[in-house]
């Protein structure tokens, strides 16, 4: 499953929001009781499927002597973990601890980033889109990837 595009949303007073329709349809099409895992990554809230979470845990378990930075990443990922139901209308509830840690207020933006989506405060979204990026051609080449445009 790939998350693409973005959507501006408002959190209701209970911290609920509605996912974009195409995300909702894809998530609901995967299981009778649709769920999504929310956690923290790079100081904001992300959403992934439970299958992706299991794959993530398997990869993290391969690290036998994690560095301090890796332990901090693990703390963030595992400490933020919350599995939430996806309602028929695509509504999810963002728990209070994630809203606080992700600095989420009423207005947010859902940003599709391939295998995950990010939930950003509206102002942070504008910062992400407006930042200048360094040349990534070397990283693409090292990984045998190229942009087809």
Domain with residue 118: its CATH number is: 3.40.1550.20
pLDDT (0 to 100) of residue 101: 93
Which structural domain, as residue segments, surrounds residue 50?
A: 6-142
Helix axes 68-80, 50-61, angle to 10 degrees: 150
Tell me the Ramachandran region of residue 143: left when phi exceeds 0, alpha when psi lies from -120 to 50, beta otherwise.
alpha
pLDDT (0 to 100) of residue 146: 77
Q: pTM for this structure?
A: 0.86
Whether 149 is in a domain gets the answer no
Whether 126 is in a domain gets the answer yes
Phi, psi for residue 84 in degrees, rounded to 5? -125, 150
Query: What is the H or E stretch that residue 140 is in?
Result: helix 137-142
Buried b (16+ CB within 10 A) or exposed e, 51-66: eebeebeeeeeeeeee
Whether 17 is in a domain gets the answer yes
| Cβ–Cβ < 8 Å for 38, 101 | no
The parts of the chain modelled with pLDDT lower than 70 are 31-32, 130-131
- Paired residues of 109 in beta bridges: 8, 120
Total domains in the chain come to 1
Question: Which residue in the block uniquely carries the two structure tokens 């990984």?
Answer: 143
Buried b (16+ CB within 10 A) or exposed e, 27-45: bbeeeeebebbbbbbeebb
């Amino acid at each position: 499953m790939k998350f693409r595009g973005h959507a501006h949303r408002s959190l209701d007073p209970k911290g609920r929001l509605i996912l974009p329709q195409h995300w909702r349809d894809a998530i609901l099409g995967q299981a009778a009781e649709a769920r999504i895992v929310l956690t923290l990554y790079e100081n904001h809230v992300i959403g992934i499927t439970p299958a992706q979470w299991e794959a993530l845990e398997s990869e993290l378990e391969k690290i036998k002597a994690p560095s301090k930075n890796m332990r901090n990443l693990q703390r963030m990922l595992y400490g933020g973990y919350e599995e939430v139901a996806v309602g028929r209308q695509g509504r999810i509830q963002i728990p209070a601890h994630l809203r606080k840690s992700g600095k989420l207020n009423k207005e947010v933006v859902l940003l599709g980033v391939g295998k995950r989506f990010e939930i950003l405060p509206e102002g942070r979204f504008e910062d992400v889109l407006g930042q200048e990026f360094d040349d990534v051609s070397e990283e693409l080449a090292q990984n045998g990837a190229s942009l087809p445009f």
